[in-house]
Amino acid sequence: MALHSNTEIGRLVGVSLPTVRLWRGRYTDGGLEALGDLHRSGRPAVHDETSVIAVTLEPPPAALGVTHWSARLLADHVGVSFATVARIWRRWGLQPWKAETFKFSTDPELEAKIRDVVGLHLDPPTKAVVVCIDEKTQIQTLDCTAPILPIRPGVPEKQTSDYVRNGTTTLFVGLEIATGLVTDRCYQQHTNVEFLAFLKQVARAYPRVPLHVVCDNYATHKHPNVKAWLAKHPRVQLHFTPTGGSWLIMVEIFFGIITRQAIRRGTFHSVKDLETAIGAYIDGWNERAHPFIWTKGADEIIAHAKPSPHPKKTYDPRH
């Protein structure tokens, strides 16, 4: 009887399970003399780092029927150990199991709008205030079905995986880019009525100074009611990001922060509880407010925002 299973041997010596089976089979058939590598007509397996990286960067062969490499699959394909592939991937930051999305804006005024918005961040007008406005819609009021189990040494906080929905709210935020201070208001809807009411609130918060407001292309931001009010209040100017370019609005960073720190793990019995928690968080934020630092210039952003007229061709063995 074998002292170790194939799986245990693979783990001990750092090779894949098929490799263990291959060499144990050869030993069973031919003893020690059979443990030399067999003659092969094709190219010998290349075990160096460059080859593992090169194969990783190409799609798997169609015959494998997979969309991306796993470490074990590539190890068997190349003829190295799983540990070798995993080590190389860590060293070079390769993560074939991950995929991100992107979108090119088709806005005909893409470049002009990017330069306008970036200019307001990097070189804001003197004696004026720049505020980014956006809404975080349909924030759910979720409550656990059992009490939360608190954190203990070695044990994280635990919540029930099911929850009770108690309604939603929409959070409007105006972020002053020079200071990081936030103006906020929660509404049950997010039509042009609510947007205009919030725009007026922001205007009251910064009286008697030119006010430049950065916002996205949401239809309510361009409603005739909004345009009519702006015509009567010329000190307030709206600056729109390109279509598909809401990531240029700095307030999106704040939305990510408040979601992680105050909303996602919160439990709320009612919409009022949720809105109270949001207000308390923003009060604390404003006490320790700090500006976010914009680093990229318009030229760099434009270069990445447009599809290349000469895309790099990559060999795809599936075609």
pLDDT score at 167: 94
Is there a domain that residue 208 lies in?
Answer: yes
Q: Are residues 78 and 121 in the same domain?
A: no
0.85 exceeded by pTM? no
In the chain, the number of structural domains is 2
Tell me: do 66 and 142 sit in the same domain. no
Is the residue at 102 inside a domain? no
pLDDT in tens, 89-98: 999 999 999 9
Tens of pLDDT along 264-311? 999 999 999 999 999 999 999 999 999 999 888 888 888 877 666 555
State whether 157 and 11 are in the same domain. no
Q: Are residues 179 and 283 in the same domain?
A: yes
In a domain, 146, yes or no: yes
Q: 167 with 27, same domain?
A: no
Q: How do residues 37-91 score in pLDDT, each as one tens digit? A: 555 555 544 457 888 999 999 999 998 899 999 999 999 998 899 999 999 999 9
pLDDT score recorded for residue 40:
53
Both 74 and 149 in one domain: the answer is no
Transcribe the chain into DSSP letters: --SS-HHHHHHHHT--HHHHHHHHHHHHHHGGGGGSPPP-SSPPPP-SHHHHHHHHTSPPPGGG--SS--HHHHHHHHTS-HHHHHHHHHHHT--TT----------TTHHHHHHHHHHHHHSPPTT-EEEEEEEEEEEEEEEESSPPBPPBTTB--B--S-EEEEEEEEEEEEEETTT--EEEEEES--SHHHHHHHHHHHHHHSTTS-EEEEE---GGGG-HHHHHHHHH-TTEEEEEPPTT-GGG-THHHHHHHHIIIIITT---SSHHHHHHHHHHHHHHHHHT--PPPP---HHHHHHHHS--SSPPP---TT-
Domain boundaries, position 70? 6-37+44-92
Has residue 149 been placed in a domain?
A: yes
- Report the CATH number that the domain containing residue 260 is assigned in CATH: 3.30.420.10
